[in-house]
C-alpha cells in the first residue's frame, strides 16, 4: 500500500497537470446513521431517517489535481463530530432503551471526481479511504468509551455530489457538496452485535472554497465548467 502511494505521488508530481492544482477547504454539518443514529429506523440510512437534533459540525481540506477535462484526482482529509440519541427515535421500543453517544470521526481518502459534459455546474465523486473514530456511549446505565481516535479504524467508501454556486475571476470557486460514507465497521457508536443489522455510516453537507495555485491561478480561462453564452467550456484548459 505504501509503495502504491509513493508511486502515485511521484506520478502526480511529475505530471504537467500538477502545475494546475487546487487547494481547498470546507465546513458544514454532519449526520450519523447507525444503531443510535436517525429518527425512524435506527439501523440504515434513509432520507426520512435524518435526525436534525443530532447534526454536528463537519469540515474538510483537500488538494485537487486535474487529470483531463472531465476527471480530477482529489486527496481529501475530513473530520466530523457525530452523535445519536434514542430519545429522538420514532420507535417507542427504541426510546425505552435510552442509549446515547457522542464521538468523532476522521477520514483520509483518495477520490476521483467526474464532471459530466452536459451538467456543467455539477460533479460527482467516488473514492476509498480510512475512517478513524472514537465514541463515548451511554448504555444501560454504563459509560462505554473507546480508545483514542487513532486506535480505531475501518475502511470507508466516500461517495458524493457537488454543485458550483459561484466562480471568481481568478479561477477560485465556491461549491456545495453532499457526501456519504459507507464504513466497514458497526462500532462507530459503540453498539454492535447480533441485534445490529448493518454497518454504521455518516454523512455531511459542506460549503467548500477552492483556490488554484501556481500556474493555474495565472492561467486565463481557468474555471469550473459553466455554460456561458451557449458554449460548454472544459473544466480545465491546458
45-49, 156-160, 181-185: least confidently modelled range: 45-49
Mean per-residue pLDDT for 39-59? 73
Percent of the chain exceeding pLDDT 90 equals 46
What is the SS3 string spanning 79-104? EEEEEEEHHHCCCHHHHHHCCEEEEE
Q: pLDDT, tens digit, for every residue of 80-115?
A: 999 999 888 777 777 888 899 999 999 999 999 999
Are the C-beta atoms of 25 and 58 separated by less than 8 Å? no
Fold category of 23-218 in CATH: Porin (2.40.160)
pLDDT > 60? residue 12: no
Q: pLDDT tens digits, residue range 186-234?
A: 899 998 866 666 788 899 999 999 999 865 444 433 344 433 333 333 3
**Is 180 a residue whose pLDDT tops 80?**
yes
- CA angle, residues 195, 129, 36, in degrees to nearest 5: 25
Q: Is 218 helix (H, G, I), strand (E, B) or coil?
A: helix
Q: Write out the E strands in 115-152.
A: 122-139, 142-145
Can you read off the three cell numbers belonging to residue 192? 454492535
CB atoms within 10 A of CB 5: 10
Burial 224-234 (b: 16+ CB within 10 A, else e): bbeeeeeeebb
- Looking at per-residue pLDDT, the higher value among 17 and 223 belongs to 17
Distance CA 122, CA 224 (A): 9
Pairing of the two strands 201-212 and 22-33: antiparallel
Decide: residue 88, CB within 10 A, 0-12 exposed, 13-18 middle, 19+ buried: buried
For the cut 80, the answer to whether the pLDDT of residue 6 exceeds it is no
pTM across the whole model: 0.80
Measured CA to CA, the distance from residue 143 to residue 53 in angstroms comes to 21
3-class SS of residue 63: strand
Alpha-carbon distance values, 186 to 3, 200, 203 (Å): 30, 5, 15
Q: Is residue 161 a contact partner of residue 124, using CB atoms and an 8 Å limit?
A: yes
Residue 13 and residue 170 in contact, taking contact as beta carbons nearer than 8 Å: no
Asked if 54 and 32 touch (Cβ cutoff 8 Å), the reply is yes
Helix (H/G/I), strand (E/B), else coil: 39 = coil
82: β partners = 103
Amino acid at each position: 500500500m505504501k509503495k502504491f502511494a509513493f508511486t502515485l505521488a511521484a506520478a502526480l508530481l511529475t505530471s504537467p497537470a500538477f502545475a494546475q492544482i487546487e487547494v481547498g477547504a470546507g465546513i458544514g454539518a454532519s449526520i450519523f446513521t447507525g444503531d443510535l443514529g436517525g429518527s425512524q429506523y435506527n439501523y440504515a440510512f434513509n432520507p426520512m431517517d435524518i435526525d436534525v437534533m443530532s447534526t454536528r459540525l463537519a469540515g474538510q481540506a483537500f488538494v485537487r489535481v486535474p487529470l483531463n477535462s472531465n476527471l480530477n484526482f482529489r486527496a481529501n482529509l475530513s473530520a466530523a463530530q457525530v452523535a445519536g440519541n434514542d430519545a429522538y427515535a420514532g420507535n417507542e421500543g427504541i426510546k425505552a432503551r435510552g442509549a446515547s453517544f457522542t464521538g468523532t470521526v476522521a477520514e483520509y481518502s483518495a477520490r476521483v471526481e467526474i464532471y459530466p459534459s452536459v451538467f456543467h455546474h455539477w460533479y460527482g465523486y467516488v473514492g476509498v479511504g480510512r475512517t478513524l473514530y472514537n465514541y463515548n456511549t451511554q448504555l444501560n446505565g454504563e459509560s462505554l468509551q473507546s480508545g483514542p481516535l487513532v486506535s480505531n479504524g475501518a475502511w470507508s467508501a466516500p461517495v458524493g455530489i457537488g454543485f458550483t454556486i459561484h466562480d471568481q475571476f481568478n479561477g477560485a470557486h465556491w461549491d456545495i457538496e453532499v457526501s456519504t460514507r459507507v464504513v466497514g465497521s458497526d462500532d462507530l457508536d459503540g453498539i454492535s452485535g447480533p441485534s445490529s443489522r448493518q454497518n454504521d455510516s455518516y454523512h455531511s453537507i459542506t460549503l467548500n472554497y477552492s483556490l488554484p495555485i501556481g500556474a493555474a491561478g495565472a492561467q486565463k480561462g481557468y474555471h469550473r465548467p459553466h455554460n456561458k453564452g451557449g458554449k460548454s467550456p472544459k473544466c480545465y484548459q491546458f
